[in-house]
Each structure stands twice: as C-alpha cells, then as structure tokens.
C-alpha cells in the first residue's frame, strides 16, 4: 500500500476567505490504493477544508474559472491539471483572480 502524502496548500487573492481566512494548510492525505491526483484532492478539500460557498471555489470536478492553480510554482496546465499525481511534500497554490462582485 502507498504511504500517505504530506502536502501544503496555499490560498491567495481572496480564495482564503472560503477557508476561514487561513492562507496555508499543511495536510497529510490519508493512504488510499490509487495515487492522489488533483481531481481527488479537490474533492477532499471540498469535503474537509472548504468552510462556505463551495461554488466560489469549485465548478463540477475542477476549480472554477478564475482560480489559478500552481503546483510547485509551475502552472498546473503544464503538469496535467486534474490528472497530476501528487508527490510527497508537493506545494499547491490556489490564487483567486476574481475580485469584488
């Protein structure tokens, strides 16, 4: 079986307001048979960290348009987006580019 994965998540640009204003979360993801990918991770965040208004963070299986995702400082579009397999000590940054409204 796989070891658990320790990751840190950062929320910026207003995204942190959906997470009680907490900008950094250090998380140990539970062991599971399949590798953790971003698709699974978003569901986990939605169930475990997101405090309010999930529609402002997620749309369907993915983040809503206007939220940038960086994995270890690289645009997730270069990393396979939802299919990217998380590695231990990965750093995932969510930046909301939506202001006001």
pLDDT digits (tens, 9 = 90+) for 15-65: 999 999 999 999 999 988 889 999 999 999 999 999 888 999 999 999 999
Q: Say whether pLDDT at 2 is over 80.
A: no
Separation CA 98–CA 67 (nearest Å)? 8
Looking at residues 5-17, what average pLDDT do you find? 94
Short-list 71, 51, 63, CA closest to 96: 63
pLDDT of residue 1: 43
Looking at residues 64-75, what average pLDDT do you find? 96
The lowest-confidence range among 2-6, 15-19, 66-70 is 2-6
pLDDT tier at 100, thresholds 50, 70, 90: low
3-94 belongs to which CATH class? alpha beta
Give the pTM.
Answer: 0.90
Q: Say whether pLDDT at 97 is over 50.
A: yes
Contact (Cβ atoms closer than 8 angstroms) between residue 15 and residue 50: no
pLDDT of residue 22: 94
């Amino acid at each position: 079986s796989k070891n658990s994965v320790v990751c840190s998540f950062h929320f910026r640009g207003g995204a942190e307001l959906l997470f009680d204003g907490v900008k950094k979360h250090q998380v140990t993801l539970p062991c599971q048979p399949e590798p953790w990918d971003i698709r699974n991770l978003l569901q986990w965040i939605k169930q475990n960290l997101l405090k309010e208004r999930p529609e402002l963070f997620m749309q369907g299986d993915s983040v809503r348009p206007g939220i940038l995702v960086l994995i270890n400082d690289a645009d997730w579009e270069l990393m396979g987006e939802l299919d990217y397999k998380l590695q231990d000590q990965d750093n995932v940054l969510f930046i909301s580019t939506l202001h006001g409204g």
